[in-house]
Amino acid sequence: MAIVTVREALRQAMDEEMDRDENVILLGEEVAQYNGAYKVSQGLLDKYGPKRVIDTPISEEGFTGIGIGAALVGLRPIIEWMTLNFSIQAMDQVFSNAAKMRYMSGGQFSCPAVFRGPNGPAEYLSSQHSQALQAMYAHMPGLKMMAPSTAYDAKGMLKTAIRDDNPVIYLESELMYALKGEIPSEEYLIPFGEAAVRRQGKDVTIVSYSKPMRTVEAAAKHLENMGVDAEVIDLRSIRPLDEQAVYRSVQKTNCCVIVDEAWPFASVGSHVAWLVSKNCFDWLDAPVELVSGEDVPMPYNHKLELAAQPSVEKIIAAVKNVMYME
């Protein structure tokens, strides 16, 4: 097992898939000569050349559309959005073309494209660059979505996404790129629709995904010191969603807290909370709690920025509510 950063795990996934299949290409802003805004594509231009690692103009709608067109005629593009905040410019391309083409063509066309980049708040980026936009893409039929929280998952899930014949939204996080974790030397894939139980427990189920998993795991350690045995579920795959993994845990613990850094209204977290409330009603000892980002634009001030996001304290408070603790 090698210890690598999330950044390196993603680079390895792209490198291996580009080496395996000459139809895999990478395009986006600064992915080539600059080696990527976050250095995820380090060295790929030197290895594969400018026909397969392509710097694009600052025009998300344009290069996203080009990538979708390339996918429709047989290539397998990895389209890097420097941040999902910028992908708002390209939503019409993704929603109207990538997501619907297979359905509208009666299965004659597929769109094997991966749209990847950092999502959600980082630090000192204010309201226009700190948005968690997963719910917008998860809302659209025809798109798949993955959101890794570890280096191991980052590599295995990206390889799976690149090989899939459907368009995939692949959510990363700016604050996760430098995180380190173990990955094996042999090839491995992580399938869609398979959540991971990060911590076994019997008292309460805490469900999350992507960057907030770090906060959830820290909260679980604090809860352990309080005598609360929390089971932690990492969704990993948002579309399709591993509902049964969540239900099995809730049937065991009878309490559930969902953690999502997005805004609470019509979020992935609120949808999962509804699913648990509907399908685990007979097992729940208390209403499901949702710990989300605050329903406000992200402040620039760092203390306010932290206050607007899920925290260990907020998660512990939610656990106390569902367990009727003082």
Identify whether residues 164 and 209 lie together within a single domain.
Answer: no
Does any domain span residue 256?
yes
Cα 197 to its chain centre, rounded Å, is 16
Which residues sit opposite 78 in a β-bridge? 26, 114
* Last residue within a domain, chosen from 153, 183, 213: 183
Identify whether residues 107 and 156 lie together within a single domain.
Answer: yes
Identify whether residues 145 and 211 lie together within a single domain.
Answer: no
Strand, coil or helix: 169:
strand
Does any domain span residue 190?
no
pLDDT tens for 63-102 read 999 999 999 999 999 999 999 999 999 999 999 999 999 9
Mean pLDDT score across all residues of the chain: 97
Does any domain span residue 277?
yes
pLDDT tens for 113-164 read 999 999 999 999 999 999 999 999 999 999 999 999 999 999 999 999 999 9
Of the candidates 214, 304, 225, 299, the residue with the CA atom closest to the CA atom of residue 259: 214
Give the DSSP H or E segment for 156: helix 151-163
* Last residue within a domain, chosen from 150, 183, 216: 183
* Last residue within a domain, chosen from 183, 216, 239: 183
Identify whether residues 178 and 277 lie together within a single domain.
Answer: no
Does any domain span residue 191?
no
Give the DSSP H or E segment for 116: strand 114-118
pLDDT at 326 over 80: no
Identify whether residues 52 and 170 lie together within a single domain.
Answer: yes
Identify whether residues 164 and 56 lie together within a single domain.
Answer: yes
Could you tell me the CA-to-CA distances from 114 to 19, 28, 195, 241, 248 in Å, in that order?
17, 12, 20, 18, 31
Identify whether residues 46 and 172 lie together within a single domain.
Answer: yes
Q: Which one of 16, 30, 61, 129 is the catalytic residue? A: 129
**Which domain does 178 fall in, by range?**
2-183
Is 60 in the active site?
Answer: yes
| Residue 204 phi, psi (nearest 5) | -155, 145
Identify whether residues 165 and 210 lie together within a single domain.
Answer: no
Length of the chain in terms of residues written: 326
Q: Which one of 29, 60, 174, 217 is the catalytic residue? A: 60
Identify whether residues 139 and 218 lie together within a single domain.
Answer: no
Is residue 147 a contact partner of residue 238, using CB atoms and an 8 Å limit? Answer: yes
- Tokens matching residue 204: 């309460």
- Tokens matching residue 42: 């380090």
Residues 6+ apart with CB under 8 A from 46: none
Identify whether residues 153 and 240 lie together within a single domain.
Answer: no
Identify whether residues 210 and 160 lie together within a single domain.
Answer: no
Identify whether residues 102 and 158 lie together within a single domain.
Answer: yes
Does any domain span residue 269?
yes
Amino acid at 277: S
Give the DSSP H or E segment for 45: helix 44-48
- Tokens matching residue 78: 């990895």
CATH code of the domain covering residue 315: 3.40.50.920
Is 129 in the active site?
Answer: yes
Q: Can you give the pTM of this predicted structure?
A: 0.96
CATH code of the domain covering residue 35: 3.40.50.970
Q: How confident is the model at residue 325 (pLDDT cuts 50, 70, 90)?
A: confident
Give me the number of domains the chain comprises.
2
